[in-house]
Amino acid sequence: MQTAQRASAPRPASLDTVLTYAWGAGEFTATDAMSAVRLTRSTTIEALDTLARLGLLTELPNARAVGDYRKGRPARRFAFHADAGIVIGIDAGHVHLDGMAADLRGTVLARVHTELGIEHDTAEERRAAVGVAIDDLIRRAGRDAGDALAICVGVPAPVDRFGVSPIQRDGFWQRMNPDLVDALADRAPLVRVENDASLAAIAEGVAGAAAGCENYVALLAGGRLGSGVVVDGRLLWGAHGGVGEMRALDHVDGVGGAVGLGHRAKEWAREAIRDGDLDPRGALAALRPEALEGGTVLELAAQGDPDAMRIATQVGTVLARVVRVLHSMYDPEIVVICGGVSSGMGLVVDTARELLATSLDFESPRIVVSQLGADVVAKGAVAAAVELARSHALDLLYPTPAAGA
Amino acid sequence: MQTAQRASAPRPASLDTVLTYAWGAGEFTATDAMSAVRLTRSTTIEALDTLARLGLLTELPNARAVGDYRKGRPARRFAFHADAGIVIGIDAGHVHLDGMAADLRGTVLARVHTELGIEHDTAEERRAAVGVAIDDLIRRAGRDAGDALAICVGVPAPVDRFGVSPIQRDGFWQRMNPDLVDALADRAPLVRVENDASLAAIAEGVAGAAAGCENYVALLAGGRLGSGVVVDGRLLWGAHGGVGEMRALDHVDGVGGAVGLGHRAKEWAREAIRDGDLDPRGALAALRPEALEGGTVLELAAQGDPDAMRIATQVGTVLARVVRVLHSMYDPEIVVICGGVSSGMGLVVDTARELLATSLDFESPRIVVSQLGADVVAKGAVAAAVELARSHALDLLYPTPAAGA
DNA sequence: CTGATTGATTTGATGACTAAATAAATGTGT
DNA sequence: ACACATTTATTTAGTCATCAAATCAATCAG
């Protein structure tokens, strides 16, 4: 017998093509789809019918939409069925947890927010907290467990492409990512665990400052610097997920560590208050150092307070040096400053821009402040989960020939 | 009329599959190919016949190879026709030019070496020099101009994915890469211009220390530090080809610039000789500082000369810091030290390894010394040219339906 | 000279996709 | 109201890459 193993059961490529189009489109006619995917009418309609049968498309009854009347036989109209399932995106930070449930297009259906409390910082409790958040989200979205197609969780630790974090001496990374891929495997068919800054990068790339950009870095700049790196259109991991960890900043002049920009503003301001090193009539001098936050300092700087401005300039100098490193290693077009601190960053960024304008060998990256707010990571997690669902929906739904022995 | 544009004229996928197999195999039978590519006999043989007709395969007449006799009908035997064309790989350094012509498997057929001389450092002369080298190589390989399928040139400048280098103030990069992609367009259907360190990375990945590795950095460590970076199995460019340029080393403690390791050894040794800061009975003290080369110092260190060893240790300290930066930005599994200096690097590397063993957050990269010698870049250029030819051979040869209006 | 064995060739599906003909549903002009 | 152009849907044949099974060819072992 001449053995001949068929390749893994294929499916019409047209299904994937048409689904990808539909996922990104609103309501559309068969003709719209046909010209978008460049297939013949027969093939396109065949695919549309199949996708509708699988529940991924809805055929809209209104053959002739209101107002939009034209001559000829009325076109069949379809729309992607964004409620065919839900996705879950979670930012599982060190002391807080932000979660969102969304439909298959990423429209948010429900949110949760939990403060974790430093005293519950164990692998077991963290796993449980994430699980509870997921259950909550599904319930609040009015769906049940089986509807969750994809879950993505962001953690403040390096994560490799399989969702595994490297082992670290003090066990911090293991606590932040207590084998979440395995722990969540029974909650959805598709699970992805990812570094938080990488998810910020995804968020910025999908609908933020870096939309359409192939080379950029998302700098999570609040409590601790972390970066999500996209080069040549791809998010980078590295051997252990360590790309962008930036420990090397410890050894860069005038940076001295991966401490975040907000944190620096806070510390310098506190120091200055304590040292009495401020204009006594200024706004900063009046504040209690213990209660001061980095964001406040930057806000004051934006309002023109001279003392705060001096600190903001100092922070800008650090930012310039960080960007210089990023530029020389990753050559990005854009560096997006993300995270909680991003509202009052104007002066900081202007300072950095000015310092970089003349000092780089070639075109310096644009530094922009994220518009996505403190939710970037969770938004990125949702986007990643949507993408996961999109790329695997047919694997899950399309009938496979019964796997024989 | 219902318009229906066909997608770009397709070709049987089996052709590509079978060709890829054949390119990497020696002599083989139809059955060998069949089981390797997992297609049926009919499909495989159809593809083999087509490829033979296109000149990419030779059918070997010896149906029954000597000694290898077996029962049954004799199998048809084929071999990839590595002489169906040639490729050219060139290392166009600042003051030297190394070139190789090779067959489609990368077996070297001819070499050229030219010293360029600093006085001829203009865009025009460099373009001409590369052209002359190519003509020479083709002639020495005993072929003619039409046989060159692919040319790859490595230059000491950032190069983006289209072969373009960014504009630099002093014009150095423009001189190093004087629009070579355009200049060479009429010499072969496939042309690629690439950064020299990136080609070193390709060489190490194809047949060097990083074979089979998905995350590594090739560090060109002679005259000036440059790095070729492979992350997640892909060579990185960045927006302007600047990935791995390492200008940021200017600001890293104890590194202070992208000066190469060999260069540092030389300078420190010269300084020490001049300052009389050496054991007068040692080997170094006897040498004339002007004639000293970095390689010599490292050789002496390898032979146990205490003064040279001190310098090598110093160089190792720098290397450790450089690797620390690479580790924290790219998270490689391996860092390969390439280039001319690599012979006496033992002590340097040992020092670096020791310093890194305890100081990194997670698994530190293996530091290894390249075995590919001073030719790495040219070898990488050949490998890149072969790959270029392999991936586009059928585009060039397979008959396309006449392009109509 | 008869099988057994190994591989080549032939012949007939299958399935994704295209291409062209035909049918349906609507507006327009007389 | 009725022919007719227009737009889209549906049907019916093809084409092409690939597979599957049957048949043919060439060899060795007895």
Nearest residue to D26, CA vs C1'? B73
Same fold, A13-81 and A216-371: no
- Tell me: pLDDT of A53 over 90: yes
State CA B269 to chain mean position distance: 31
Residues of B in contact with A324 (CB under 8 A): 247-248, 251
Q: Which nucleotide is nearest to A30 (CA to C1')?
A: D8
A238 and B215 in contact by Cβ < 8 A?
yes
For residue A343, which of A371, A367, A320 has the smallest C-alpha distance? A371
User: What values do phi and psi take at B113, rounded to 5?
Assistant: -140, 130
What is the spatial distance between Cα B238 and Cα A330, in angstroms, rounded to a whole number? 6
Q: What is the pLDDT of residue A404?
A: 33
3-state SS string for B280-326: CCCCHHHCCHHHCCHHHHHHHHHCCCHHHHHHHHHHHHHHHHHHHHH
Residue B45, CB, strand C, below 7 Å: yes
Q: Which residues in chain A have their CB less than 8 angstroms from residue B325's CB?
A: 248, 251, 329
Pick the CATH number of B86-208+377-394 from 3.40.50.1370, 3.30.420.40, 1.10.357.10, 3.40.50.300: 3.30.420.40
A9 touches strand C (CB under 7 A): no
- In the prediction, which pLDDT does A5 show? 36
Determine if strand C comes within 7 Å of the CB of A48: no
CA B383 to chain centre: 6
Pairwise CA distance, residues A347 & B47, whole Å: 64
Query: Residue A289 CB closer than 7 angstroms to strand C?
Result: no
Q: What's chain B's length in residues?
A: 405
Mutate to test the interface with B, among A34, A39, A162, A329 (most CBs of B within 10 A): A329
Tell which wins on pLDDT, A253 or A144.
A144
Pairing state between β A148-155 and A86-92: parallel
Strand partners, B114: B97
SS3 content of chain B, % helix, strand, coil (to 5): 45, 20, 40
Residue of B nearest to A228 (CA): B329
- Spell out which residues of chain B touch residue A249, defining contact as CB-CB under 8 Å: 328
Strands B148-155 and B190-195: parallel
The whole-angstrom separation of Cα A85 and Cα B399 is 46
* Residue of B316, B298, B318 whose CA lies nearest to B308: B298
Nearest Cβ partner of B234 from A161, A232, A361?
A232
Smallest CA–CA distance, residue A57 to chain B, in Å, is 24
| pLDDT at A8 (0 to 100) | 46
Pair B5, A38: CB distance under 8 Å: yes
Mean pLDDT of A295-313: 84
Inter-chain residue contact B38 with A158, CB threshold 8 Å? no
Least Cα distance to A204 among A65, A18, A383 occurs for A383
Q: Do A331 and B245 touch (CB under 8 A)?
A: yes
Closest to B185 measured CA to CA, from B162, B158, B202: B162
Handedness of CA B118, B122, B123, B128 (dihedral sign): negative
Provide DSSP, B225-286: -EEEEEETTEE---TTS-TT--GGGGGBTTT-S-B-HHHHHHHHHHHHHHTT-S-TTSTGGG
DSSP A140: H
| Nucleotides of strand D under 7 angstroms from a protein beta carbon | 5-13, 16-22, 25-29
The token pair that represents A313 in the structure block: 């300039």
Cα angle B152, B154, B155; round to 5: 140
Of A163, A165, A169, A109, the C-alpha closest to A139 is A109
Alpha-carbon distance of B134 to B34, in angstroms, equals 38
Extended strands (E) in A184-318: 190-195, 216-220, 226-231, 234-235
Closest Cα to residue A164, out of A74, A228, A224, A238? A238
Task: Write out the E strands in A208-333.
Answer: 216-220, 226-231, 234-235
pLDDT at site B6? 39
Contact A220, A196 (CB under 8 A): yes
| B331/A238 touch (CB, cutoff 8 Å), yes or no | yes
Classify the C-alpha dihedral A296-A299-A303-A304 as positive or negative.
Answer: positive
Confidence of residue A113 (pLDDT cuts 50, 70, 90): very high
Give the number of residues written for chain A.
405
B237 with A239: Cβ contact below 8 A = no
The reported pLDDT for the residue numbered A273 is 77
Indicate if the pLDDT at residue A24 is higher than 60. Answer: yes
* Domain A216-371 CATH class label: alpha beta
Asked if A300 and A348 count as a contact pair (C-beta separation under 8 A), the reply is no
Question: Which CA-bearing residue is nearest the C1' of C28?
Answer: A71
Residue A369 phi, psi dihedral angles, 5° rounding: -95, 130
pLDDT at B42: 95
Tens of pLDDT along A314-365? 889 999 989 999 999 999 999 999 987 667 788 899 999 999 988 777 888 9
Strand C close to B76 by CB, under 7 A: yes
User: What's residue B141's pLDDT?
Assistant: 98
pLDDT in tens, chain B (405 residues): 333 333 445 799 999 999 999 999 999 999 999 999 999 999 999 999 999 999 999 998 765 555 566 677 888 999 999 999 999 999 999 999 999 999 999 999 999 999 988 888 999 999 999 999 999 999 999 999 999 999 999 999 999 999 999 998 889 999 999 999 999 999 999 999 999 999 999 999 999 999 999 999 999 987 788 999 999 999 999 999 999 888 877 777 766 666 677 777 778 878 877 777 777 777 766 777 777 777 778 888 888 888 888 888 988 999 998 999 999 999 999 999 998 766 778 889 999 999 998 877 788 899 999 999 999 999 999 999 999 999 999 999 997 644 332
Measuring from the CA of residue B34 to each C1' atom, give the nucleotide at the shortest distance: C7
pTM over cut 0.85 = yes
Q: Which residues of A touch B9 (CB under 8 A)?
A: none
- A-B Cβ pairs (cutoff 8 Å, strict): 157
- B247 contacts A361? CB cut-off 8 A: yes
- Element (H or E) spanning B337, and its range? strand B334-338
Q: How many CB atoms lie within 10 A of CB A302?
A: 17
**Of A264, A217, A258, the residue nearest A236 (C-alpha):** A217
Q: Is A114 on the interface with B (CB under 8 A)?
A: no
Q: How far apart are CA A125 and CA A216, in angstroms?
A: 35
Distance (Å) from CA B20 to C1' C6? 26
Give A259's DSSP letter.
Answer: B
Contacts of B51 (CB under 8 A, 6+ apart): B15, B18, B19, B22, B57
Contact B282, B307 (CB under 8 A): yes
Hey, is the C-beta of B329 within 8 angstroms of any chain A C-beta?
yes
Closest CA to A80 of A151, A32, A143, A141: A32
Of B168, B248, B328, the CB nearest to A245: B328
Chain A, window 226-265: residues with a beta carbon less than 8 angstroms from a chain B beta carbon: 231-232, 234, 236-249, 251-254
Note whether B85 and B101 are within 8 A (CB).
no
Domain boundaries defined on chain B: 13-81, 86-208+377-394, 216-371
DSSP tally for chain B: helices H, then strands E = 12, 13
**Beta carbons of B327 and A251 less than 8 Å apart:** no
The pLDDT of residue A401 is 44
Please identify, in words, the CATH class of the domain defined by A13-81.
mainly alpha
pLDDT in tens, A61-106: 765 555 566 678 888 999 999 999 999 999 999 999 999 999 999 9
Q: Which residue is nearest to nucleotide D29 (CA to C1')?
A: B71
pLDDT at residue number A123: 95
Residues A19/B50, Cβ–Cβ less than 8 Å: no
Contact A242 B328 (CB under 8 A): yes
pLDDT exceeds 80 at position A148: yes
Q: Is residue A341 within 8 Å of residue A298, measured between CB atoms?
A: yes
Chain A residue closest in CA terms to B3: A40
Q: Rounded distance, CA B221 to CA A70, Å?
A: 69
Which residue's entry shows tokens 């009015």? A142
For A333, which residue in chain B has the nearest alpha carbon? Answer: B239
